[in-house]
Amino acid sequence: MGKITGFMEYERVEAEYRPVRERIGDYSDLTLPADSETIARQSARCMDCGVSFCHAGIIVNGGSIGCPLGNLIPEINDLVYNGNIEGAYERMSLTHPFPEFTARVCPALCEGSCTLGEHESPVTIKNIERYVADYMYESDKIRPRTPRIRTGRRVAVVGSGPSGLACADMLNQLGSSVTVFERSDAPGGLLMYGIPNMKLEKPVVMNRIRIMTEEGVNFITNSEVGFDIPIIKLTSDFDAVVLCCGATRERRLDVPGAGLDGVHTALEFLSEATKNLIGASQRASLNARDKNVVVIGGGDTGTDCVGTAVRQGAKSVVQLEILPPPPDERGENNPWPLWPRIKRTDYGQYEAIELFGEDPRRFSTTVQEIKGDGNVSSAITANVEWTLRDGRMSPILLPGTEREIPTDLVLSAMGFNGPERNLIDQLQLETSPTGSVKTDNRYECSLPTVFAAGDMRRGPSLVVWALSEGRNAAIACDRYLNGKRD
């Protein structure tokens, strides 16, 4: 490596966030730009560890080890330390189609498996990746790549989320003529309307769409396959179809009062907030201003709801999580190099703490009922205790812990149940017990010439896994079209 002793000389320096009181007044980027000297020193912390786990990209006992994309992280860090940012981006591009996305929204599985992190703080791989990607964009050094060949084959990609974009990008570079169908008014899927602008600025998404368009990818928006466009048209007009429709069936709140006005899913709320921000919608009713907000769900989406509600001027925000708080340090069943399942306080919680004086999270808490007369007015909650029953941990209600929380807006951020059924049923595709589309190890569905990738195939997951799935499905589809099925 460029600095053999760097990990002994330099401490980990996290990305610096804008002051809370400043950033909650807008939807601009949460973070401050890093300087080149800091990034060089952070790159120098990457060890000459021999066998590195940061790019393993494997699942062990349900836990992730390393980057699913297989990024060549030690090599990238070495190039950054030596000042070769363009070379680092080129090396990154061998495995990663869109580093500007993951550098903003990925939980950094790579850092959880960093060898240095076994005993000390891991390398700031995510921040280094962002510096490289932003440097290239700001220097106007990312140019459209013209495919070297055109095979004459046509492929339809349904869905323009991370897996669809990654699939389209790879297929296009392999020479196919690719058309991406998106039912929304803009490409990007959850990247566009599911992740708030302060985490992933929409110009970043649209800039990549622009580049892909210049490279030859055709995007058709406001067109839902199976409704606006018959699926038979795709299977007859294209040589192959790749389904990248995500797992967008949200888990709905199933308690008395869940149908009252003022109860919405997280995706409804976050999508509408972004549409209002960019001028694509004027639906003022779905807004947290001057409201007491209850967010149900403690994951990233729940945090995004908290951060968005704060920016909209919520009167109060409470975030409910049915699970108990994770430990502060790794447990015995979660050793390195697995991704550490520990308690983290994210940007939304920090903002609520600054604004309201306390952590909005209520762990081991569930909703029993939503009350109101037409419009929601309160939520009845109760504490739970997790107990082993029939071989699995289950929540048991604790009597006497009921509490009524005044609320004007309830946001359900409880995750997703899998893909929507329309296309699956029309194509009569085989599914897994969880409802995901069933494929073989070549991403082929039960119907010839139809492939599937991303959350639609593997279930709700991270953006980085969706990117990996999209690339792998594109390679498998290309081999199929070229008659290579081994």
Specify the DSSP class assigned to residue 176: -
Question: Residue 485 pLDDT more than 70?
Answer: no
Q: Are 448 and 281 in contact (CB under 8 A)?
A: no
The mean per-residue pLDDT over the stretch 99-109 comes to 97
> Of 459, 432, 464, 462, whose CA–CA distance to 445 is shortest?
432
Structural domains of the chain ordered from first start: 6-138 (1.10.1060.10), 154-248+417-481 (3.50.50.60), 263-412 (3.50.50.60)
Taking the C-alpha atoms of residue 78 and residue 84, their distance in angstroms, rounded to an integer, is 9
Q: What is the structure's pLDDT at 483?
A: 87
Q: What is the structure's pLDDT at 63?
A: 87
Q: What is the structure's pLDDT at 168?
A: 98
The mean per-residue pLDDT over the stretch 304-332 comes to 96
Label residue 282 by pLDDT band (50, 70, 90).
Answer: low
The mean per-residue pLDDT over the stretch 118-128 comes to 95
Question: Residue 381 pLDDT more than 80?
Answer: yes
Convert the pLDDT of each residue in 435-463 to its tens digit. Answer: 999 999 999 999 999 999 999 999 999 99
> Of 179, 163, 186, whose CA–CA distance to 229 is shortest?
179
Label residue 469 by pLDDT band (50, 70, 90).
Answer: very high
Enclosing H/E stretch for 218? strand 218-220
Label residue 82 by pLDDT band (50, 70, 90).
Answer: very high
pLDDT, averaged across the chain: 95
Question: Residue 486 pLDDT more than 60?
Answer: no
Q: Are 13 and 38 in contact (CB under 8 A)?
A: yes
Taking the C-alpha atoms of residue 275 and residue 23, their distance in angstroms, rounded to an integer, is 19
Q: What is the structure's pLDDT at 239?
A: 97
Q: Are 415 and 297 in contact (CB under 8 A)?
A: yes
Lowest mean pLDDT among 152-156, 280-284, 291-295, 476-480: 280-284
Question: Residue 17 pLDDT more than 70?
Answer: yes
Q: What is the structure's pLDDT at 283?
A: 64
Q: What is the structure's pLDDT at 391?
A: 83
Tokens 């409804």 belong to residue: 268
Q: What is the structure's pLDDT at 284?
A: 64
pTM greater than the 0.85 cutoff: yes
> Of 320, 324, 295, 298, whose CA–CA distance to 393 is shortest?
324
Label residue 418 by pLDDT band (50, 70, 90).
Answer: very high
